[in-house]
């Protein structure tokens, strides 16, 4: 209990708060620097997936036209999957 009281008293000290804030900012900057390339790569990968998926869908439609085949309507599960995919990738 005494340690908690000491900690609370230190928290009232503006100098201690500024040091804590400085340490938090430094940690945030380190994490941001570390994870920024991952976020960029993730965005690029998502873009490539969208391009490939769009090309695949176009190819399927062309094949359907050439063969005079039509796909059966989507099942509920397929409709749900389509909605989820579009919510994560609005470019589709």
**Residue for token pair 């804590």:** 20
41-60: average pLDDT: 90
26 has a pLDDT exceeding 80: yes
- Are the C-beta atoms of 24 and 68 separated by less than 8 Å? no
- Are the C-beta atoms of 16 and 10 separated by less than 8 Å? yes
pLDDT digits (tens, 9 = 90+) for 6-20: 777 766 777 787 888
- pTM of the predicted protein model: 0.57
């Amino acid at each position: 209990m005494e340690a908690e009281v000491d900690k609370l008293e230190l928290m009232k000290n503006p100098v201690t708060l500024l040091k804590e804030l400085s340490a938090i900012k430094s940690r945030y900057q380190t994490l941001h620097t570390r994870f920024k390339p991952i976020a960029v790569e993730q965005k690029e990968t998502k873009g490539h997936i969208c391009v490939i998926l769009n090309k695949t869908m176009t190819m399927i439609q062309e094949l359907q036209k050439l063969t005079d085949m039509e796909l059966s309507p989507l099942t509920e599960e397929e409709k749900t999957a389509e909605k989820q995919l579009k919510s994560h990738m609005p470019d589709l």
